[in-house]
C-alpha cells in the first residue's frame, strides 16, 4: 500500500487525479474506471475534468462502473447515485453515458441484477483503476462492517450511522433509503489499481483502520492491505492517527524518478 500525505484536501484531489490519469494514459482510450460517489472524490474529479478540458486526457471512449446504488430510489431522484454520477463524473469528464454503468437499484429481481453487474464488469475485462472514498465506519462502496471480505455485488442494509451521515443529502433521515446494491469487497479487490482518497478529522479512525489496523470485516476497507496496487491519498487531518506517517512521508519524498506519477 502506498500512502501519500498531502498538505490539504485540494492537494489530495490534484495528486490522486494525477495517479488516475497516469493509469488512464497507460491503459489507453478504452480504460475501465471504477467511480465512487460521496464528497471525498469530488476534488479528484474536478482535477480530472481540468485535464480533459485542457486536452491532455481523453475519456470519451472510457467505460465506468459505479460502486453502488440505493435500492428503491427513482433513477431521476437528484440523490440517486445514477444522478450523482451523471452530475459529478459523466458530464464533467466527458464520458459517454452509454458506457457508464450502475447497479439497478429498482430491479424486480435483485440477485439477477447483481449477477448481471458482475458479468458486465467481467465482459469488458475488469476495472483498470478503482476510485474510492471511505465511510467514517470504514466502509468502501457500501460494504458495511461485517461484510464478507470476499463478497461480490449484492444487496446490503445500510448501517444506521451511514444513513445518518448521508441524511445531509436528503430533507429528512427517513427519506434515506435503508438498502443499497454495492459491489462486494471481492469485486473491488479485482480492480488492477485502487486509489482511495480521504480528507478531514472525521476520517481519522477509518483511515487508521484501513491502513494500519488488523484486516477485519469490522473495518471493511482494511481488506485493501491485501491489494497489490493500492494507493491511499490523505490530507493532514485524515492521516493524524497513523503510527507510520513519518515513514510514509519519507518513502514518498525519496521515490526514485521512474516510480513517480505526480
Ligand atoms: C458513501 C458511499 C461511499 C463513500 C462514503 C463516504 O455513502 N457509498 O462510496 O466513499 O459513503 O462518503 P464521503 O466521501 O461523502 O465522506
Can 229 be counted among the known catalytic residues? Answer: no
pLDDT reported for residue 184: 98
| pLDDT at 152 (0 to 100) | 98
CA angle 258, 260, 262 (to 5 degrees): 145
With a CB cutoff of 8 Å and minimum separation 6, the contacts of 75 are: 82, 83, 105, 106
Q: Which residues line ligand 1 (CB under 6 A)?
A: 36-40, 67-68, 133-135, 141-142, 162, 166
Which portions of the chain are predicted below pLDDT 50? none
At 259 the pLDDT is 82
Helix (H) or strand (E) holding 135: none
Total-model pTM: 0.97
257 classed as catalytic: no
Q: What is the pLDDT of residue 262?
A: 64
38, 82, 163, best to mutate for ligand 1 pocket (most atoms within 8 Å of CB): 38
Active site residue 106: no
pLDDT for residue 83: 98
Domain assignments of the chain as residue spans, ordered by start: 2-254
Q: Which CATH architecture has domain 2-254?
A: 3-Layer(aba) Sandwich (3.40)
How far is the CA of 179 from the CAs of 26, 110, 113, in angstroms? 37, 12, 15
Strand order from edge to edge, sheet including 63-66? 2-6, 230-235, 193-198, 129-132, 32-35, 63-66, 100-101
CA of 141, closest atom in ligand 1: 9
Pocket probe for ligand 1: among 139, 210, 219, the residue whose CB has the most ligand atoms within 8 Å is 139
Amino acid at each position: 500500500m502506498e500512502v501519500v500525505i498531502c498538505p490539504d484536501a485540494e492537494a489530495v484531489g490534484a495528486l490522486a487525479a494525477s495517479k488516475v490519469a497516469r493509469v488512464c494514459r497507460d491503459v489507453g482510450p478504452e480504460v475501465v474506471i471504477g467511480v465512487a460517489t460521496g464528497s471525498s472524490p469530488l476534488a479528484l474529479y474536478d482535477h480530472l475534468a481540468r485535464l480533459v478540458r485542457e486536452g491532455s486526457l481523453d475519456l470519451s471512449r472510457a467505460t465506468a462502473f459505479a460502486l453502488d446504488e440505493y435500492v428503491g430510489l427513482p433513477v431521476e431522484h437528484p440523490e440517486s447515485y445514477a444522478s450523482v454520477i451523471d452530475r459529478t463524473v459523466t458530464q464533467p469528464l466527458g464520458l459517454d453515458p452509454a458506457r457508464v454503468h450502475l447497479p439497478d437499484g429498482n430491479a424486480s429481481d435483485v440477485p439477477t441484477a447483481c449477477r448481471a453487474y458482475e458479468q458486465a464488469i467481467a465482459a469488458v475485462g475488469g476495472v483498470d483503476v478503482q476510485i474510492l472514498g471511505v465511510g467514517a465506519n470504514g466502509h468502501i462502496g457500501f460494504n458495511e462492517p461485517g461484510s464478507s471480505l470476499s463478497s461480490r455485488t449484492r444487496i446490503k442494509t445500510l448501517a444506521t450511522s451511514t444513513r445518518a451521515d448521508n441524511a445531509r443529502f436528503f430533507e429528512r433521515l427517513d427519506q434515506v433509503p435503508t438498502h443499497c446494491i454495492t459491489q462486494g469487497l471481492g469485486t473491488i479487490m479485482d480492480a488492477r489499481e485502487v486509489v482511495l482518497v480521504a480528507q478531514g478529522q472525521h476520517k481519522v479512525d477509518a483511515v487508521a483502520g484501513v491502513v494500519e489496523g488488523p484486516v477485519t470485516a469490522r473495518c471493511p476497507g482494511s481488506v485493501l492491505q491485501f491489494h497489490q496496487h493500492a494507493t491511499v491519498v490523505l490530507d493532514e487531518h485524515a492521516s493524524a492517527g497513523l503510527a507510520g506517517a513519518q515513514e510514509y512521508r519519507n518513502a514518498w519524498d525519496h521515490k526514485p524518478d521512474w516510480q513517480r506519477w505526480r
